[in-house]
Structure 1
Amino acid sequence: MAYRSKYTGRYSGIGAMLQRPWIQAKCVAVAERAKGIAEGRSPRETGEYSRSFSVLPITKNVPFRGKPRMRAGARLINTSGHARIVEYGNGRTPRYSVLSKSIDDLKAANLG
């Protein structure tokens, strides 16, 4: 006879856990790993683009069942003035896709 778990999750408890500082610290740690990958992938013409990456801890409103719920997280951004051109290209500048390729590398590293 197989044992069946009788666990039923409490959404309020899971939601409270997703607001805790230690969850945000883990999110920031993952964003810092992505920052290192992005800095390694960025073009080296001037070096300004690779120096402009920063990680910001955020609290984001993620609606659940129609009600607003605040969740901890982190955001990797590039504050360089030409970040959009480097990421998407503009005809003269090739598309480097630094952030999207960095996310793909991070996902591939966690699969193994």
Structure 2
Amino acid sequence: MAYRSKYHGRYSGIGAMLSRPWLQRPCRDAAVRMKAAAEAHAPVGDPAEDKHSGRYKASFDVLPIVKNVPFRGKPRMRAGAQLINSAPYAHILEYGNGVTPRYAVFRKAIDDLKAAHRG
């Protein structure tokens, strides 16, 4: 008969681990990899015609965050990192608006990182 392991997770211990500051470093490292992938897909206009050429690509930033993630109805603070683009037209480039085509830079960056971890 094969031995069958039994694991009973302690939610308080897992929650304590997820709220520790040292967990922000791996989250930040993942966001930095995502930033590099997003910058690779960012459109850059022709400098002769576009006075903001490269502004979108240079506007990516990684921020540390502490987010409230409720568990069983109680607030729990969790460490993490956030990738943002502070260009005023970032939403238009991501989703398009009829005049500007949809570039989906963040979606392409996510797809690249998923493909890198598949095999």
> TM class by shorter-chain length?
over 0.9
Q: Is 1:51 aligned with 2:51?
A: no
- In 1, the alpha carbon distance for the partners of 2:66 and 2:4 equals 37
Alignment of 1:1-112 (within 5 A): 1-45=1-45, 46-112=53-119
C-alpha distance in 2 between matches for 1:72 and 1:4? 34
What's the TM-score, normalizing by structure 2? Answer: 0.90
RMSD: 1.0
CA distance in 2, matches of 1:87, 1:102: 12
Distance of 1:102 and 1:7 partners within structure 2: 35
What is the aligned residue count? 112
Question: 1-side partners of 2:7 and 2:60: how far apart?
Answer: 43
Q: SS in structure 1 opposite 2:102?
A: coil
Please tell me whether Structure 1 or Structure 2 has the larger radius of gyration of its CA atoms. 2
SS of the equivalent of 2:74 reads coil
In the alignment, the residues of structure 2 paired with residue 19 and residue 106 of structure 1 have an alpha-carbon distance, to the nearest angstrom, of 25
- Structure 2: 5+ residue stretches without partners: 46-52
Structure 1 unaligned segments of length 5 or more: list them. none
In 1, the alpha carbon distance for the partners of 2:5 and 2:109 equals 39
Deviations 1:14-40 (A, max 9, x none): 000111223211010000000000001
Give the Å deviation of 1:9.
1.2
